[in-house]
Amino acid sequence: MSVEVKIGIAESARELSIQSSLTSDKAFAAVEAALSGSEQLLSLVDDKGARYLIPVAKIAYVEVGATENRRVGFGAV
């Protein structure tokens, strides 16, 4: 299972897209805790182990996708 988290950074034309092994609910909770004012940094780890620290003051928006299971094989959709 993995979830895609897209983060818009203020004063930047590109967004940060992170594929995380967290569930959608856990990723949303981490973002919500950071944006509530209790944290100065949003900390996320992608599914390859890379760590990201994003200053909360620079976050313009966050989109947390739905958790999806990876499919393997050539079965009918």
Q: Which two tokens stand for residue 71?
A: 């499919």
For residues 48 and 32, what is the distance between their CA atoms, to the nearest angstrom?
23
The CA-based angle 63-59-1, given to 5 degrees, is 35
User: Is pTM, for the whole model, over 0.95?
Assistant: no
For residues 50 and 33, what is the distance between their CA atoms, to the nearest angstrom?
21
For the residues 57-69, what does the mean pLDDT come to?
Answer: 84
The architecture that CATH gives domain 3-64 is Roll (2.30)
Task: Please tell me the predicted confidence (pLDDT) of residue 76.
Answer: 62
DSSP symbol at 56: G
Task: Please tell me the predicted confidence (pLDDT) of residue 5.
Answer: 93
